[in-house]
Each structure stands twice: as C-alpha cells, then as structure tokens.
Amino acid sequence: MITIKQITPIETYTLRLEVLKTNADYIYQYQGDFDEKTVHYGAFDADKNIGIITLMENENPLFQGKQMQLRGMAVATNAQNKGIGKTLVQKVIKISNAKEAKILWCNAREQVVDFYKKQGFQIEGERFYIEHVCYHYLMYKKL
C-alpha cells in the first residue's frame, strides 16, 4: 500500500537527482525549499520513498488571486504509471484548497504536459526553455 507523508526538503533530493536531473548543472535545490510556507510530500511503499512533490506559495504575475506552485514532481522510474503521480497531485490540490488558493500552477516539462492535462491543468502561453533542463509549458489549474 502506498502512503503519502510530509517530508523534509533534504528528503526530496535523492529522487530529484535520480528522476529529474538532466545534466551535471541541474539545480536540485530550489529557491524556497526551506521557506516555512513550503511543504514537501513523499509517496512511500513501506519505507521506500518512490515519489515526491513540493508545494510553494509562489505568485506568477500572469495569474490573479492566491496561488500555489507545484514543483519537483517525480516518481521513481520503476514505480511510474501506477497512479502515484496522480495521488501526489491530488494531495497538493487538497492542501491548496485548504489554503484557499484559487490557482495551482507549475512549469511542466513538455513530455509530461498530457499527465498534467489529465489532472485538470491547462497550458498558458508558449513553450519556453529552462536552462539545464528542457522545454516547458506554464500550466495551471483553477481551484
């Protein structure tokens, strides 16, 4: 059985490096990781951390009202396509709703845009490049 629990920023680093790292210059420590309003969750199979997600109170000038940013979403390669990513997104939607946010947004890697669409997100604007990573789309979900 998969359980979701809050973890520390440092506990996200292993999967950020394993799953999200694209090259030697990938910055796996994010600005805001240690902010008191930032929360990190892990999906666990017994004691093994197989998924991570981070939620920050970051505002994007393109949106209005209270916003949350989803970041660092990753599921271990051998645990993908089993519903864990969806469960982690549902967790941060629940937390965002509890904080009365109106928008949940993220910078989505272009290869996972359809995953976010399935969770109710839509694209805003044009594709853009994030250095040391890949092309992204700004995506958001109204809460």
Ligand X SMILES: CC(C)(COP(=O)(O)OP(=O)(O)OC[C@H]1O[C@@H](n2cnc3c(N)ncnc32)[C@H](O)[C@@H]1OP(=O)(O)O)[C@@H](O)C(=O)NCCC(=O)NCCS
Q: Give the range of 24-32, 54-62, 67-75, 93-101 binding ligand X by CB under 6 A.
A: 67-75
Rounded Cα distance between 83 and 69, Å, is 21
Q: What is the distance between the terminal CA atoms of the chain, rounded to a whole angstrom?
A: 28
- Binding residue (CB under 6 A) for ligand X from 19, 92, 93, 101: 19
- Binding residue (CB under 6 A) for ligand X from 4, 95, 112, 123: 112
In a 3-state reduction of DSSP, which class is residue 91? helix
Using an 8 Å Cβ cutoff, are 42 and 49 in contact?
yes
Q: Which is nearer to ligand X, 65 or 83 (CB)?
A: 83
Q: Give residues 74-103 in contact with ligand X (rule: CB under 6 A).
A: 74-75, 80-86
Question: Which is nearest to 104 in space by CA: 113, 112, 95?
Answer: 95
Query: Shortest approach of ligand X to residue 51 CB, angstroms?
Result: 7
Rounded Cα distance between 91 and 53, Å, is 9
Tell me which residues touch ligand X (CB under 6 A).
Answer: 19-20, 73-75, 80-86, 108-109, 111-112, 114-115, 118
